[in-house]
Structure formats: C-alpha cells, structure tokens
Amino acid sequence: MTPRISRVRRPSAVPLALVLAVALVALMSLLPVLYILLRAREAGWEHSMTLVFRPRVYELLVNTLQMDVAVTLLCAVIGTITAWLIERTDLPGSKLWNAAVMLPFAVPSFIGSYSWVSILPGIEGLKGVILVMTLSNYPLVHLPVAAALRGMDPALEETSRSLGYSRKQTFFRVILPQLRPAILGGAILIALHMLAEFGALSFLNYETFTTAIFDQYNVVFDGASAAMLTLVLLSLCVMVIGLELLSRGRARYATQRQGAPGELERIRLGAGKPLALAGVACLVALAAGVPLGTITYWLLTGSSAAFDVAIVTRSLYTTLAFGMGGALLTVLLALPLVFLAVRYQGRLATLAERLPYFIHSLPGLVIGLTLVFFAIRYAYPLYQTVPLLLIGYAMLYLPLAQSSIRSVLVQVPSQLEEVAGSLGKRSLSVFARVTLPLIAPGVGAGLALVFLQVMKELTATLLLRPTGVDTLATRVWVHTASGEYAASAPYAALLILVSGLPVYLLTMRSFTRSKQKRGET
C-alpha cells in the first residue's frame, strides 16, 4: 500500500497582497547575487577565467563536496531515527528526549569544534569536520520530521495494518514516503548550511570555498577574486537545489483524516529498548556533553574566567532581542513564499520559493557586505541600524522557516480553505482562522530554528550591528580569537543556556498542540 498522493488544486487567482509580499522577498533575495556580479565584473573576463579554472579551485571543490555529502547523509539518517524513536515508539521520557536531542543545535558550531580540538588535538581535518558538524546539524532533520510525524494521518497506518502489511512494510511503503518532504527539507538546509559554514572549519583547519572567500576578503583584500569564488559556491548551490527538486517531484502530500481521531499506538521496542536509550543518550552526550564539559572546565580552571556582570547582561539582552526580532521577521516573510508555492503551483511560485535557498549557501560575510554596500549607496540612514541587521538575518535563515512550515502545510487539505472561502471569508481571514492553527507546529519549529541560528550568528552580526553593540556570540568570538578561552566560557555557557530553554518550550508546545488537535478533530 502506498499513501494517497493528491495534487492540490489551484485556486482561480492569486491574491494581490500575496504577490506583492513574495515579490518583495524575491527582490531582497536577489541583492547578494547582484552584488557578487558587480564585484566579479571588476576582475575582467580573462582574469575571471584564470581565477576559476586553476588547481586551487579544484582542491576546494573536492574538499567542499566531500564534507557536504558526508555530513548531509549522516544527519538525514540520524535525525530521522531520533524523530521516529521519540514520536512513534515507547521510548521512556520521550518529551525530555525530544528537547535533549535538540540541545546540540543551541551550541554554536565554532564552540563545538573548539571543544573537540581541545580534548582531541588530532581530530582536525575531514574526519573531524564530519564528526563535529554532524553532531551540530542533525537537529535540522529531527525537528521537521518529528513535526511531520505528529501531524500525520493515523488512518494511513491503520489502513495499511488492516490490509495485512507488517510494521516494517508499513514504514517503508506508507510512512517514509509521507516523511520525504520533511527529510528532504532538512537535508537541503544542512547541505546549504555546510556550504556556508566558516567558524567551525577555521578551528578544525579544513579549507573550503567559504574559508577561502573569507581569506580573500580579509587577508588579501581581493574582493574580485572572492566574488569569483562565491560564484562557484553559488553554482554548487544551484546543483543542490536542482537535485532536491528532482527528488521531490511534483507530488503534493495532502492527506485527510479518515480514521478515528486520536494518537497512533506507539510501537513497543521490547528487548531493543535499552539499546535505543543508550544510543540516544550517547548521541546527546557527544553532541552537547562534550561542549558543555569543556566550557565547565574553563570556567573552573581558567585564570581569565572573571567577567563584568554589566557587559554580560547587556550582551544577553541584545542577543534575546535580536533573536526574537529576527525569528519573527523571518517567519513572516517565509509564510507567503511557502503558501504561494504549495497552494498556487507554477514555475514562478517554485522559483520564488527557491531563491532564498541560494542565499542560504552564502557566508554571512557576503550577506553583510551586500547590505553594507547597498545601504551606504542607496539607503544610508539604514547603515548600522537594527532593522538592517534583522533584514540580514532574514536573508540568511529564510529556508529554515520555509522548510519547517512547508513540511506541515503540505499535509493540510486545501479543501478546508476552499470551504471557508465559499462561506464568504476573505483570503487573509481564511488563512488566520483555518490554515494558521493547523500549521502551528511548523511555524513553531521555524521560530525555534531561526531564533537559535540568529543567536549564534557571527560574521553578519559583526558587520551590520550598531556601533558598540555586542551579542553573546560576538563576545565569545572576540575572546576566543585572542586565545582567552576561559574569558569566553561565561558567554558561551550563557548562550547555550538561553538557547536550550526556547528549544524545550517550543518543542513541547508543538507536541502538546498537535496532540490536542488530534483529540478535537
């Protein structure tokens, strides 16, 4: 048995407000591309070809692809397994494990990489990158897959079982195809994120296009050469997105509840329960325990661990304010993109939705320089202001919100909106009263992901923040870059602490709300 896959019917006309909102986001997403082309043009055609077709670029290409493929595949497997164990089995303490497996995402990757290097100096290179980055990024798959499992129609599995299919057959032929949008959404985010990763790779001494671009901008001061390397990086991004679109196909998973309301019976692990518990606990210990243990060590033994309470308080307030503001703006911009692509299918809708994914593969340095360039020339009052910084965050992390929202929206039948519209409700009212409550778990997941990433963002923040304003991440970076690891420990510990609480609250809220909806349907 395979799940029923239905094409979502196109409404007759796209609301003008939706078109304008998507056009604004698309224009914003094109700014970095325009900036890169302008800077690359300065190099000239012959010099540009020399910069692209050289042994150094081939070496960077091999390094980048090896890292990207390995980390993405491992994260997809680990994230799917953890989501399945927590959401669909009788694993003890599933609520707590659901928050625990997300905790590594609250640890900045550069802190995680330093932690591993400090205890295992020989971990540098490709193997070290695969280990550290997999432990840091698997939550990007876990969270959307868990949300999709909670919102899945119980009738699918019940019908499959009634037809005589085993649990294994039901999983691979019914459940896994329904999870494909969530898995692919998380995987493409990881693949693109790895293309843009910088801080962790610097600590692990692993060269990719991102580290080379940073060196060209900040060491050699060759903006044209850096722009050409960025164009190659964008080409890789195009390939990743193209593969994702081919894998996804044109099918839309819009399932309707046909069985009795309620939660699916959890699968009993039996003798495998201790092994499953040990596996999840080991994963959390490696991903979160090692960084926390290292930070604790520096707090207790470091001679430079003293800190100014006033500076820490200001940095904490700024971090929380930037995180919440960036998350809210990003989700607001992501909603029209996803809604247009899912409900009003077409090439232009798909292109508009994919544009932010191109930008997600760019280093934060490039986004920061783009906004500085255009702000100074065309909107100087925005230069070094909070609104410009929040726009930068939205440009960087739109795909995080898009992926989470899409994984839930594709499961909401369009017929519900059509019925509400036939009763005389306006499009915006239908969305607010019908669609939004149903996609709340995806919206919550998007808020959590973006909030955490904004709190950890470094390079764009350093360029775009108002003068004299610091976040916890920038304080960590400043001290770490100077070799003051104990001085950075209080800021790193506080950053992980405040990031862990929102993860717990948002994951528990989405779990509770989805459970309530199943009982009320």
The more confidently predicted of residues 277 and 238 is 277
Q: Return the minimum-mean-pLDDT range out of 114-118, 152-156, 267-271, 517-521.
A: 517-521
| 435 closest CA partner among 409, 400, 401, 405 | 409
Residues 51/116, Cβ–Cβ less than 8 Å:
no
Q: Where residue 260 falls among pLDDT bands split at 50, 70, 90?
A: very low
Residues 182/63, Cβ–Cβ less than 8 Å:
no
Residues 157/3, Cβ–Cβ less than 8 Å:
no
Phi and psi at 411, nearest 5°, equal -95, -5
CA distance 102 to 39: 39
Q: Where residue 357 falls among pLDDT bands split at 50, 70, 90?
A: confident
The rounded radius of gyration (Å) of the Cα atoms in the chain is: 23
The pLDDT tens digits of the residues spanning 284-325 come to 999 988 988 888 888 887 655 566 788 888 999 999 999 999
The more confidently predicted of residues 262 and 430 is 430
The domain 16-253+274-520 is classified under which CATH number: 1.10.3720.10, 3.20.20.80, 3.90.45.10, 1.10.510.10? 1.10.3720.10
Q: Return the minimum-mean-pLDDT range out of 199-208, 269-278, 426-435.
A: 426-435
DSSP state of 439: T
pLDDT of residue 426: 67
CA distance 472 to 380: 27
The more confidently predicted of residues 156 and 56 is 56
The more confidently predicted of residues 121 and 312 is 312
| Integer CA distances (angstroms), 64 to 72, 317, 396, in order | 12, 36, 20
Quick check: 8 pLDDT over 50? no
Residues 157/210, Cβ–Cβ less than 8 Å:
no
Q: Where residue 210 falls among pLDDT bands split at 50, 70, 90?
A: confident
Quick check: 3 pLDDT over 50? no
Region for residue 85 given its phi and psi (left: phi exceeds 0; alpha: psi -120 to 50; beta: otherwise): alpha
CA distance 112 to 429: 45
Structure tokens of 186?
Answer: 């998380």
Cross-strand bridge partners of residue 89: 267
Cross-strand bridge partners of residue 267: 89
Residues 155/196, Cβ–Cβ less than 8 Å:
no
Q: Return the minimum-mean-pLDDT range out of 269-278, 355-364, 452-461.
A: 355-364
pTM: 0.75
Q: Where residue 511 falls among pLDDT bands split at 50, 70, 90?
A: low
Q: Return the minimum-mean-pLDDT range out of 63-77, 84-98, 155-169, 507-521.
A: 507-521
**Domain ranges, ordered by start, for the chain:** 16-253+274-520
| 152 closest CA partner among 165, 139, 171 | 171
Quick check: 256 pLDDT over 60? no
pLDDT of residue 254: 44
Q: Return the minimum-mean-pLDDT range out of 260-264, 282-286, 383-387.
A: 260-264
Most confident of the following: 171-175, 283-287, 302-306, 453-457: 283-287
Q: Averaged over 479-489, what is the pLDDT?
A: 75
Residues 149/87, Cβ–Cβ less than 8 Å:
yes
pLDDT of residue 519: 47
Q: Return the minimum-mean-pLDDT range out of 145-149, 254-258, 323-327.
A: 254-258
SS3 category, 448: helix
Q: Where residue 227 falls among pLDDT bands split at 50, 70, 90?
A: confident
Q: How many beta carbons lie within 10 A of that of residue 377, not counting itself?
A: 9
CA distance 173 to 165: 9
Q: Following DSSP, what letter does each residue of 64-96 receive, concatenated?
A: HHHHHHHHHHHHHHHHHHHHHHHHHB--TTHHH
